[in-house]
């Protein structure tokens, strides 16, 4: 059977970004014919024993409580499970000195759904036929933003400026405010902080400037805080969440050990939250309640915040140090390779200036030596025009063992040296 698809059907039935790449990676691993690959592509968080035990304990508490039947065996409010909402309000008010009420919070099935709701509620064509853009202030950014809008031309990203430290082979992306435009054609703004894939953390000044540009046009700014404090607190650089009248703070508990439960939290202006809630009601009634119930226990007790800063963050920060150390030892100092500053998240991001081949070709060559990374060009959703930089980057996961990361960086260094040498010889 091959039913005809609508325009939206065509759009949403295609794999985009990393999901498309993962198909090739899975096939490579399956057809390896006994070859051992160092897989540095994974986006799945490592199952840390202390984190798993926390969720086991919270599950046991739920199972033994009279609340279990109400949580699992009944429908609930579209806004979310009330005890969980209450815990979020209390925690954030106490932690950040806010004055939130329950009307400022929406619980969603994963934070990806928040951006889908927002992109299609505020972006796309108006009833008058005018296009409202979903603006990404800088790209690269989360690959999933490329698939959230039913109107692909609505996603619009800006090329960042590059802060380059050539001596130490480091660099950092910064929003280019000389180019960034937010006006009456903007529907909403979205960016991640810390950023997947680069680990970039926009400064407080940069975030406030973006929000200030959006405020006169009543444009909501969605900050994807999937790696931010207070949980999972995967920030290696000092940072704090930023709140404001037009800022929607979006949290995910996936990297705090619950990716299978698909649990997202939107915190912001009551009117915007109501629009998102209505969208959710029409789409899926409400989020699963089991994850909310155990998360309420983990957050309310303070255990999740503590385990985030004492276990999750140090684990991945140490992994980034392993990557950095291995690269400094293995990579030729005379070649133009650059590691993005490690400011957060669970990935390292590399740029090879003037790379003599595409990122996809480099990905294929690395597979030949048993190393799997993710080509970087998939992480530039909405970017207009050509930019050679986007074909010169790779993403490296911090989820492998220290030994695998170190060996992977050695093999990467060997391949990169050969690539540049062949280019020089060819000239």
> At residue 31, does pLDDT exceed 80?
no
> At residue 42, does pLDDT exceed 60?
yes
> At residue 16, does pLDDT exceed 70?
no
Residues 388-406: tens digit of each pLDDT: 999 999 999 999 999 999 9
Instruction: Calculate mean pLDDT across residues 122-139.
Output: 97
Residues 6 or more apart whose Cβ sits within 8 Å of residue 266 = 105, 106, 107, 108, 111, 114, 248, 249, 250, 251, 273, 276
Rounded Cα gap, residues 345 and 200, in angstroms: 9
Q: What percent of the chain has pLDDT over 90?
A: 89
CA dihedral sign, ordered 272, 221, 282, 131: positive
Mean pLDDT (the chain, rounded)? 94
Whole-number pLDDT of residue 314 = 98
Whole-number pLDDT of residue 7 = 85
> At residue 422, does pLDDT exceed 90?
no
| DSSP E strand boundaries for 301-362 | 337-340, 347-352
The larger pLDDT score, comparing residue 327 to residue 31, is at 327
> At residue 11, does pLDDT exceed 90?
no
Whole-number pLDDT of residue 19 = 63
Residues 150-177: tens digit of each pLDDT: 999 999 999 999 999 999 999 999 999 9
Instruction: Calculate mean pLDDT across residues 314-323.
Output: 98
Whole-number pLDDT of residue 10 = 83
Lowest mean pLDDT among 30-44, 301-315, 334-348, 358-372: 30-44
Whole-number pLDDT of residue 284 = 93
> At residue 226, does pLDDT exceed 90?
yes
Return phi, psi of residue 26, to 5°.
-60, -45
Rg of the chain's alpha carbons, rounded to an integer?
A: 22
> At residue 426, does pLDDT exceed 60?
no
The SS3 of residue 314 is helix
> At residue 418, does pLDDT exceed 80?
yes
Token pair 């409010």: residue: 77
Contact assessment for residue 413 and residue 329, using Cβ atoms and an 8 Å cutoff: no
Instruction: Calculate mean pLDDT across residues 133-148.
Output: 95
Residues 278-301: tens digit of each pLDDT: 999 999 999 999 999 999 999 999
Domains of the chain: 7-49+307-421 (3.90.1150.10), 67-304 (3.40.640.10)
Instruction: Calculate mean pLDDT across residues 303-316.
Output: 98
Contact assessment for residue 357 and residue 403, using Cβ atoms and an 8 Å cutoff: no
The larger pLDDT score, comparing residue 44 to residue 236, is at 236
Instruction: Calculate mean pLDDT across residues 314-321.
Output: 98
> At residue 427, does pLDDT exceed 50?
no
> At residue 5, does pLDDT exceed 90?
no
Whole-number pLDDT of residue 365 = 96
Rounded Cα gap, residues 111 and 39, in angstroms: 26
Lowest mean pLDDT among 43-47, 325-329, 400-404: 43-47
């Amino acid at each position: 059977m091959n039913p005809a698809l609508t325009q939206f059907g065509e759009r949403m039935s295609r794999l985009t970004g990393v999901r498309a790449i993962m198909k090739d990676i899975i096939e490579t691993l399956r057809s390896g014919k006994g070859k051992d690959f160092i897989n540095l592509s994974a986006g799945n968080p490592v199952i840390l024993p202390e984190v798993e035990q926390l969720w086991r304990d919270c599950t046991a508490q739920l199972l033994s409580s009279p609340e279990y039947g109400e949580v699992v065996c009944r429908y609930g409010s579209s806004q979310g499970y009330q005890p969980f909402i209450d815990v979020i309000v209390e925690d954030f008010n106490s932690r950040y000195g806010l004055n939130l009420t329950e009307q400022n919070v929406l619980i969603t099935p994963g934070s990806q759904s928040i951006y889908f709701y927002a992109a299609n509620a505020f972006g796309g064509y108006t009833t008058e036929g005018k296009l409202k853009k979903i603006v990404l202030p800088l790209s690269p950014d989360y690959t999933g933003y490329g698939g959230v809008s039913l109107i692909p031309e609505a996603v619009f990203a800006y090329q960042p400026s590059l802060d380059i430290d050539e001596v130490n082979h480091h660099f950092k992306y910064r929003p280019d405010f000389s180019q960034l435009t937010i006006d009456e054609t903007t529907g909403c703004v979205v960016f991640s902080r810390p950023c997947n894939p680069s680990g970039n953390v926009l400064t407080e000044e940069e975030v406030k400037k973006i929000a200030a540009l959006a405020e006169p046009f009543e444009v909501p700014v969605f900050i994807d805080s999937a790696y931010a404090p207070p949980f999972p607190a995967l920030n290696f650089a000092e940072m704090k969440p930023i709140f404001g009248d037009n800022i929607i703070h979006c949290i995910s508990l996936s990297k705090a050990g619950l990716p299978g439960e698909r649990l997202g939290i939107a915190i912001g202006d009551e009117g915007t939250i109501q629009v998102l809630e209505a969208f959710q009601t029409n789409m899926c009634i409400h989020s699963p309640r089991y994850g909310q119930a155990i998360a309420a226990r983990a957050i309310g007790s303070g255990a999740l915040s503590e385990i985030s800063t004492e276990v999750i963050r140090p684990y991945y920060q140490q992994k980034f140090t392993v990557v950095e150390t291995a690269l400094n030892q293995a990579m030729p100092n005379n070649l133009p390779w650059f590691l993005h500053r490690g400011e957060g998240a669970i990935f390292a991001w590399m740029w090879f200036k003037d790379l003599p081949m595409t990122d996809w070709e480099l990905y294929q060559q690395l597979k030949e030596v048993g190393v799997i990374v993710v080509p970087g060009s998939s992480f530039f959703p909405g970017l207009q025009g050509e930019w050679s930089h986007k074909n010169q980057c790779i993403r490296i996961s911090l989820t492998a063992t220290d030994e695998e990361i170190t060996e992977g960086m050695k093999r990467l260094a060997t391949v990169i040296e050969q690539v540049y040498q062949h280019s020089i010889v060819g000239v």
